[in-house]
Amino acid sequence: MTWRLRVDPIACDGRGLCAELLPECISLDDWGYPIIESPEVSGRLMTHARRAVAMCPTLALLLEDTP
């Protein structure tokens, strides 16, 4: 099963926690908003991805399963 990261850009406030917790997948643009560099998450990164999702203060980071 592959999971995909997605940002809700309306909810996102650009706090930047996700890029600190999951630098393997997420970087920040020039204004501090997340860019999903590699959306597909699997294996050992899942724990980190779940933590990043849970820690987002505005609940803007989504982890969705892909059929």
Strand order in the sheet with 61-65: 40-41, 3-7, 61-65
Q: Is 23 in the site for other proteins (CB under 8 A)?
A: no
Q: Are 1 and 61 in contact (CB under 8 A)?
A: no
For residues 43 and 67, which CB has a smaller minimum distance to other proteins in the complex?
67
Number of chain positions touching other proteins (CB under 8 A): 14
User: How far is residue 11's CA from residue 1's CA, in Å, rounded to a whole number?
Assistant: 27
Q: Is 9 in the site for other proteins (CB under 8 A)?
A: yes
Stretch that binds other proteins, among 7-15, 18-26, 38-46, 49-57 (CB under 8 A): 7-15
First to last CA, the chain: 8
| Residues at the site binding other proteins, with contacts judged by CB under 8 A | 7-14, 29-33, 35
